[in-house]
């Protein structure tokens, strides 16, 4: 079978508006020839070089890692799982999004040496502008707790920094469903150029997601221009069928998702996966009581990390999960397959 190359990725995914912007192709390109241009977020660009097309050297790593080349097999609803629990961090997590459970699991794993790095998203606390990063300290992890996944950022681009540049070999990845699906493709692939990444990824935590937003369109356009809200006034954002904006002065503003269509990343409109079915653990605020995080435990890896965090006194769990609430949002997103 002929190996698919960057040209196929460009024609099948980039040019058709399917790109999720996960950054997997940026990470795995051995020539560092794929990147997101400054201010151009719709799709990556190639600098004009491809090992396969220019030199006839077999490659295709970018195509093999892309989560959007096989849309027919993308996940829907809750996917397969072992159990679903509500969980919370036992220790204080000042900026936690809901129950701080993801932070507790990762903090425990870093301290115990189960992982040596976390590929995640941080944000400038003043402007809220997001960026992908590699965190190796539990103290830094806790300080940066709180979801920034409302914003688009090519998160997996930092996987190359973690694995290739800094040589970490026990990496956790935290991201939205397209990120989880890309890591699944990397882990399952027999592509020689993806093996270093597959061996290094030890844990994938997927986050519930309806869609993600372009920073400039949402912050500078919708919130600053229309609602007169500056980014430094925002304490946190939450999406539960609407965008809830929590302000530093304790006010809360809710915006229907229908009013944010222009801010949604185009590639999100074809995604049917709400619960990140490709992850080892999926997490979100939907379905759990106030102060808890819903955890969907999908396999032995997920169970192992959660059990270790519980035994080390970092995490507490509860069975009080409103499963129909999760199913309603998952069904709503799954409908995109039919639209």
DSSP notation for 182-220: HHHHHHH---GGGHHHHHHEEEEEEE--S--B-HIIIII
What is the torsional sign of CA 92, 146, 35, 70? positive
CB 137 within 8 A of CB 122: no
Strand partners, 316: 88
Q: For 200-225, how does the pLDDT look when each residue is reduced to its tens digit (9 = 90+)?
A: 999 999 999 988 888 888 888 889 99
* Token pair in block for residue 262: 């222009």
Kindly report the length of the chain. Answer: 339
CB 70 within 8 A of CB 17: no
Share of the chain above pLDDT 90, in %: 66
Q: For 141-170, how does the pLDDT look when each residue is reduced to its tens digit (9 = 90+)?
A: 988 876 565 678 899 999 999 999 999 999
Ordered structural domains, the chain, with CATH: 6-70 (3.30.70.20), 73-212+266-337 (no CATH), 215-263 (3.10.450)
What span, in angstroms and rounded, lies between the C-alpha atoms of 256 and 68? 27
The owner of tokens 């995914």 is 13
Assess whether pLDDT exceeds 80 at residue 337: no
What span, in angstroms and rounded, lies between the C-alpha atoms of 13 and 5? 12
Give CA separation, 175 vs 121, 160, 179, 212, in Å. Answer: 8, 15, 5, 11
Q: For 308-319, how does the pLDDT look when each residue is reduced to its tens digit (9 = 90+)?
A: 999 999 999 999
What pTM was estimated for this model as a whole? Answer: 0.92
Q: What is the pLDDT of residue 148?
A: 60
Q: For 58-108, how does the pLDDT look when each residue is reduced to its tens digit (9 = 90+)?
A: 899 999 999 999 888 787 789 999 999 999 999 888 766 678 999 999 999
What span, in angstroms and rounded, lies between the C-alpha atoms of 54 and 48? 9
Which stretch of DSSP H or E encloses residue 315?
A: strand 315-318
Q: Which of the residue ranges 197-201, 244-248, 273-277 would you say has the lowest mean pLDDT?
A: 244-248
Q: Which of residues 152 and 118 earns the better pLDDT score?
A: 118
Assess whether pLDDT exceeds 70 at residue 338: no
What span, in angstroms and rounded, lies between the C-alpha atoms of 288 and 89? 14
Q: For 171-196, how does the pLDDT look when each residue is reduced to its tens digit (9 = 90+)?
A: 999 999 999 999 999 999 999 999 99
């Amino acid at each position: 079978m002929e190996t698919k190359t960057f040209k196929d990725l460009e024609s099948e995914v980039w040019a058709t508006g399917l790109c999720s912007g996960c950054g997997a192709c940026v990470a795995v390109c051995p020539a560092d020839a794929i990147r997101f241009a400054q201010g151009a977020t719709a799709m990556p660009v190639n600098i004009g070089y491809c090992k396969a097309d220019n030199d006839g050297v077999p490659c295709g790593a970018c195509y093999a890692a892309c989560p959007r080349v096989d849309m027919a097999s993308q996940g829907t609803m809750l996917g397969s799982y072992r159990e679903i629990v509500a969980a919370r961090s036992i220790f204080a997590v000042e900026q936690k999004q809901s129950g701080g459970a993801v932070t507790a699991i990762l903090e425990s794993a870093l301290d115990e040496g189960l992982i040596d790095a976390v590929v995640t998203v941080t944000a400038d606390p003043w402007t809220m502008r997001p960026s992908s990063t590699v965190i190796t300290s539990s103290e830094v992890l806790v300080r940066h707790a709180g979801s920034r996944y409302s914003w688009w950022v090519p998160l997996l681009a930092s996987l190359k920094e973690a694995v290739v540049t800094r040589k970490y070999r026990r990496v956790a990845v935290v991201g939205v469903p397209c990120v989880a699906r890309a890591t699944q493709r990397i882990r399952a692939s027999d592509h020689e150029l993806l093996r270093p990444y597959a061996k290094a990824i030890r844990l994938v935590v997927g986050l519930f997601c309806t869609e993600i937003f372009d920073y400039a369109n949402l912050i500078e356009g919708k919130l600053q221009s229309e609602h007169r809200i500056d980014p430094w006034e925002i304490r946190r954002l939450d999406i539960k069928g609407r965008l809830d904006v929590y302000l530093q002065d304790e006010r809360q503003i809710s915006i229907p998702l229908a009013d944010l269509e222009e801010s949604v990343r185009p590639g999100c409109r074809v995604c049917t996966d709400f619960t990140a079915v490709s992850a080892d653990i999926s997490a979100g605020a939907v379905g759990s009581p106030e102060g808890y995080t819903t955890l969907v435990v999908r396999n032995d890896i997920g169970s192992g990390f959660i059990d270790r965090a519980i035994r080390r006194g970092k995490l507490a769990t509860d069975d009080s999960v409103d499963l129909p609430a999760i199913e309603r949002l998952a069904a709503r997103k799954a409908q995109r397959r039919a639209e």
